[in-house]
Amino acid sequence: MNITRVFPGRGIVMRYICLISVLLVVISCINETILPDEYEIIFSNEYFETLNSIEIADKKIEVINIGDEVTISSVPRGQQEITVITHSGLIMKATVNLTGTNPVVRIVLTESGMLQLV
């Protein structure tokens, strides 16, 4: 028995139901990534001497002792230059690209003088 003869228009309704189901699946699979406008940076000094200052974007933190951590808030998204000046006058510069979805970024100045994102 042909279902379209018993229920006229049933084939068209089934097509619309299938089309709507496919559209709902496609729409539900769309994943929009939302990036924060500002980041919080946790800077850790594991270097062998005290730091006189750290500059990131327009933020400046003075005197970071060995083993200390400081938090720098409201650093804008994008490429930012980091300048570290040690107690002995050594200047270290690096660039970090803040674009991830996590609004908290941890940066460690290692004993060897490398800036690492953790």
Residues 6+ apart with CB under 8 A from 118: 106, 107, 108
Phi, psi of 90 (to 5 degrees): -70, 130
Q: Provide the CATH number for the domain around residue 75.
A: 2.60.40.2890
Residue 100, pLDDT > 70, answer yes
Residue 99, pLDDT > 60, answer yes
> By residue range, what is the domain housing residue 14?
1-31
Residues 6+ apart with CB under 8 A from 32: none
Region at 9 (left for phi over 0; alpha for psi -120 to 50; beta for the rest): left
**Do residues 80 and 26 share a domain?**
no
Residue 3, pLDDT > 60, answer no
| Confidence at residue 9, expressed as pLDDT on a 0 to 100 scale | 57
Over range 79-94, report the average pLDDT. 95
Over range 84-93, report the average pLDDT. 95
Span 34-73, pLDDT tens digits: 889 999 999 999 999 999 999 998 999 999 999 999 999 9
**Do residues 45 and 27 share a domain?**
no
Number of domains in the chain: 2
